[in-house]
């Protein structure tokens, strides 16, 4: 085996000149020295750089003879062994020597390699920057899109909208909503500008009041301002931010009625909302008649029902239950007498049981106290329905007809009673009178008990048909009945739903069975309510079983209204306790 040296050179006009030379040597030297077999006039090549030798097994060995190495197929080294049939490319400086086979000889093609011109480009190709748009470009595109869609578009659309809310149509501000509106405001979902009227101006009270015309103030503004507690650190921060950015308040609608909190009914205010002011109200507002209240379970004043003190004038006064209030409703009604299961009343009721619907074991509460349709309270007591079955007003009988006094009309009753008996058949009728006086004339006589003033007096007397229950008085010089004023509601500013307490017997709260006088106020004290109802905080801390967490909103409303308070409304909706 021999070497065949093929030298390739390129002329100035790009023509390739190829010269072949067979060398009958086993070893070839490579270097810059002129006597080298392969002479490479390149300063990057050493004078005696390497030697290429034929090896046994038809291989070619390459050894570096100087201090510098060479590259084989791009990899640097100092020695290599090449199979000419497979081939390989040696690299010395800027010259490549291709090792191959040509007709039984080892072909060494010596060719200068052009300097890398695309090296940098290729190096860049390794990085991701070569296939992705630049980071800066990407960043600007994304930021521009976001600013255009989520800032410029809604603002421009908002500024150019029609001043009429019904006509206006702001585009793109849907992306601004921090959360769905509550059920009550759900229809305003796509109409941000209905509430957010002016840019950078918080939602105004007047905007709320343009629909909620009937919302009443909690108390006069000046008193509210005095009553308001100094906020804590957090409240001060919030107030500071609110003030800095021109929010109304404190006490603005939006301070309490937080929107965008989800598609549900607005939650009832937490106890703390009331307790902030009412917990220490007396300290700041000494003139208030209200006791401090912070938690139903631990800090709530005794109930002060409006007790009727003067039924003639219709005057009631709020007296705390612990001050043992006495009521004067104008009616003498001892509950004990009526509810005693072994008393006369019970017997009477048992006698009447079938027809009037009374039970056989005497009177029950429900026989007289009939719930209203909503079950919250009770219908007024009606004499004809609730009393008359026993307390009959019949005073006479004419044939099959019973004559009855007219309840509620004393003058008529007196008139009726005055002639009672006179209508009966006279005992002696049309008989000629004997003797001198009025001889030959007919006379009529009635030999019954004398009637008139005596009967009326009896009727109105303490045991009479009226006086048994009623008190008489004089009105404009005439005898009159003191009007009966049974309050439908003792606690006007506190909500109590009887229907939510159905599982409890009446007597557990109302001690009627032992009340011998109508002057007793048969209301439970706050302590009795607390056997079941605990404050909001206590409930969340201990979650006592069977206890009902009761925040202020269960019984009270902030805006005076005849409607049930928020928590009671919610519980009614959810059927809690119903």
H or E element: which one contains 567? helix 566-574
Helix 453-460 / helix 410-418 crossing angle, nearest 10 deg? 140
Residue corresponding to tokens 């890398």: 116
**Minimum distance between the CB of residue 109 and other proteins, rounded to whole angstroms?**
7
The span from the CA of 306 to the CA of 109, in Å, is 120
The span from the CA of 376 to the CA of 564, in Å, is 10
Angle at the Cα of 411 from the Cα atoms of 410 and 413, rounded to 5 degrees: 60
**Minimum distance between the CB of residue 243 and other proteins, rounded to whole angstroms?**
13
**Minimum distance between the CB of residue 558 and other proteins, rounded to whole angstroms?**
14
For other proteins, the closer of residues 176 and 333 by Cβ is: 176
For other proteins, the closer of residues 238 and 350 by Cβ is: 238
Contact 300, 281 (CB under 8 A): no
Residue corresponding to tokens 């905080």: 537
For other proteins, the closer of residues 91 and 446 by Cβ is: 91
Give strand pairing partners of 178.
Answer: none
Tell me phi and psi for residue 27, to 5 degrees.
-130, 135
The 50-55 sheet, strands edge to edge: 38-39, 27-31, 50-55, 59-64, 79-82
**Minimum distance between the CB of residue 406 and other proteins, rounded to whole angstroms?**
58
Contact 515, 334 (CB under 8 A): yes
Q: Which residues contact 143 (CB under 8 A, 6 or more apart)?
A: none
**Minimum distance between the CB of residue 73 and other proteins, rounded to whole angstroms?**
5
**Minimum distance between the CB of residue 144 and other proteins, rounded to whole angstroms?**
8
For other proteins, the closer of residues 172 and 291 by Cβ is: 172
For other proteins, the closer of residues 258 and 493 by Cβ is: 258
- 3-class SS at 477? coil
For other proteins, the closer of residues 56 and 127 by Cβ is: 127
**Minimum distance between the CB of residue 129 and other proteins, rounded to whole angstroms?**
8
For other proteins, the closer of residues 200 and 447 by Cβ is: 200
**Minimum distance between the CB of residue 559 and other proteins, rounded to whole angstroms?**
17
| CB atoms inside a 10 Å sphere around CB 474 | 8
For other proteins, the closer of residues 98 and 299 by Cβ is: 98
The span from the CA of 482 to the CA of 329, in Å, is 9
């Amino acid at each position: 085996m021999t070497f065949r040296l093929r030298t390739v050179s390129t002329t100035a006009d790009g023509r390739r000149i190829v010269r072949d030379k067979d060398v009958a040597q086993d070893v070839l030297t490579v270097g810059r020295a002129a006597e080298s077999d392969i002479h490479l006039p390149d300063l990057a090549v050493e004078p005696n750089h390497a030697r290429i030798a034929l090896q046994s097994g038809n291989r070619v060995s390459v050894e570096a003879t100087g201090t510098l190495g060479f590259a084989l197929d791009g990899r640097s080294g100092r020695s290599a062994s090449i199979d000419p049939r497979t081939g390989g490319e040696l690299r010395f400086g800027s010259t490549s020597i291709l090792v191959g086979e040509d007709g039984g000889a080892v072909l060494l093609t010596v060719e200068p390699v052009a300097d890398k011109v695309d090296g940098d480009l290729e190096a860049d190709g390794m990085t991701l920057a070569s296939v992705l748009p630049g980071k800066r470009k990407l960043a600007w595109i994304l930021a521009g899109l976001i600013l255009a869609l989520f800032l410029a578009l809604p603002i421009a659309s908002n500024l150019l909208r029609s001043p009429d809310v019904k006509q206006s149509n702001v585009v793109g501000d849907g992306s601004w909503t921090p959360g769905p509106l509550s059920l009550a405001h759900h229809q305003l979902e796509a109409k941000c500008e209905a509430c957010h009227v002016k840019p950078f101006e918080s939602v105004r009270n007047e905007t709320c009041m343009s629909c909620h015309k009937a919302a009443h103030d909690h108390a006069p503004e000046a008193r509210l301002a005095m009553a308001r507690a100094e906020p804590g650190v957090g409240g001060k921060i919030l107030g500071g931010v609110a003030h800095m950015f021109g929010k109304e308040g404190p006490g603005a609608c939006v301070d309490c009625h937080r929107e965008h909190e989800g598609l549900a009914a607005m939650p009832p205010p937490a106890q703390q909302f009331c307790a902030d002011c009412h917990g220490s109200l007396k300290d700041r507002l000494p003139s208030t008649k209200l006791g401090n209240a912070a938690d139903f379970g631990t800090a709530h004043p005794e109930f002060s029902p409006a007790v009727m003190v003067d039924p003639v004038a219709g005057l009631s006064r709020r007296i705390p239950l612990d001050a043992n209030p006495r009521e004067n409703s104008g009616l003498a009604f001892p509950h004990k007498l009526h509810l005693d299961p072994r008393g006369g009343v019970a017997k009477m009721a048992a006698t009447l049981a079938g027809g009037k619907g009374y039970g056989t074991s005497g009177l029950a509460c429900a026989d007289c106290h009939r719930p209203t349709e909503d079950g919250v309270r009770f219908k007024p007591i009606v004499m004809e329905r609730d009393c008359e079955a026993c307390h009959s007003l019949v005073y006479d009988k004419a044939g099959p007809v019973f004559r009855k006094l007219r309840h509620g009309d004393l003058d008529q009753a007196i008139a009726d009673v005055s002639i009672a008996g006179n209508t009966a058949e006279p005992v002696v009728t049309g008989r000629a009178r004997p003797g001198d006086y009025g001889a030959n004339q007919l006379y009529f006589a009635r030999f019954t008990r004398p009637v008139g003033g005596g009967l009326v007096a009896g009727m109105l007397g303490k045991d009479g048909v009226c006086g048994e229950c009623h008190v008489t008085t004089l009105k404009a010089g005439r005898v009159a009945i003191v009007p009966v004023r049974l309050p439908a509601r003792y606690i006007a500013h506190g909500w109590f739903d009887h229907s939510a307490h159905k599982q409890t017997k009446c007597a557990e709260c109302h001690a009627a069975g032992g009340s011998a006088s109508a002057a007793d106020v048969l209301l439970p004290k706050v302590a009795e309510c607390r056997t079941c109802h605990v404050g909001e905080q206590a409930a969340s801390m201990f979650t006592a079983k069977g206890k009902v967490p009761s925040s202020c909103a269960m019984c009270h409303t902030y805006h005076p209204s005849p409607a049930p308070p928020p928590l009671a409304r919610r519980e009614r909706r959810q059927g809690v306790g119903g």
